[in-house]
């Protein structure tokens, strides 16, 4: 059951971003790094889900890094995370994080829709040391899938949507799946 949940979480990770490189503490200015949860990383291979980066994001090891920019109360990103399986793929691109609420919106792509669908509040970023307002950093926060989003005219669980697109069994990605640790460093 735990392996199944982790496997699903790995797929869910596609929503948010990540299996990758530079350590968060080493993040350059105007960069967000997401280090995948160790359980998710261990489950990716056996689940048949392969992560990759959507340029200009970069994936190295178990960390993905995104170019970031501070605009008012939001941190905008370019590029994204792609999770692919033999059944399909999901991308989370151009993620926008409201650093005051910790809610993040992303353009979610898949083989079913011709253009990525913007889904508000699909990710939740919380914890860590949020000092964006003071010095442009947010260290060691946790990134998770939201428990519910408004998509295609109805309230839905993003974990269920991810599992369906990736061809994973129902319930394999738990609601609110933790994706990993995130560090943001932007110029004020």
Q: Is residue 39 in a domain? A: yes
Share of residues in the chain with pLDDT > 90 (%): 59
Q: Is residue 157 in a domain? A: yes
**pLDDT tops 60 at residue 26:** no
Q: Is residue 115 in a domain? A: yes
Q: What is the pLDDT of residue 5?
A: 44
For residue 47, the enclosing domain spans: 2-182
Q: Is residue 187 in a domain? A: no
Q: Is residue 188 in a domain? A: no
CA dihedral in degrees (89, 10, 100, 184; nearest 10)? -90
**pLDDT tops 80 at residue 94:** yes
- As a whole number of angstroms, the distance between CA 184 and CA 139 comes to 6
**pLDDT tops 70 at residue 15:** no
| Total count of domains within the chain | 1
Q: What is the mean pLDDT of the chain?
A: 84
């Amino acid at each position: 059951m735990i392996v199944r949940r982790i496997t699903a979480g790995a797929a869910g990770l596609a929503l948010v971003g990540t299996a990758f490189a530079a350590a968060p503490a080493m993040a350059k200015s105007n960069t967000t790094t997401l280090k995948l949860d160790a359980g998710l990383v261990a489950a990716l291979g056996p689940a048949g889900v392969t992560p990759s980066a959507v340029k200009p994001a970069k994936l190295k090891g178990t960390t993905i890094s995104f170019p970031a920019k501070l605009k008012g109360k939001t941190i905008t990103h370019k590029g994204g995370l792609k999770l692919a399986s033999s059944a399909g793929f999901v991308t989370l691109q151009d993620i926008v994080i409201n650093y005051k609420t910790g809610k993040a919106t992303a353009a979610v792509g898949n083989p079913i829709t011709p253009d990525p669908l913007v889904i508000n509040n699909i990710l939740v970023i919380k914890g860590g040391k949020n000092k964006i307002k003071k010095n442009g950093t947010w260290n060691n926060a946790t990134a998770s899938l939201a428990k519910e989003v408004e998509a295609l005219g109805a309230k839905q669980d993003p974990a269920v949507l991810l599992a369906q697109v990736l061809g994973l069994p129902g319930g394999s990605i738990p609601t609110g799946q933790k994706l990993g640790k995130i560090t943001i460093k932007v110029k004020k």
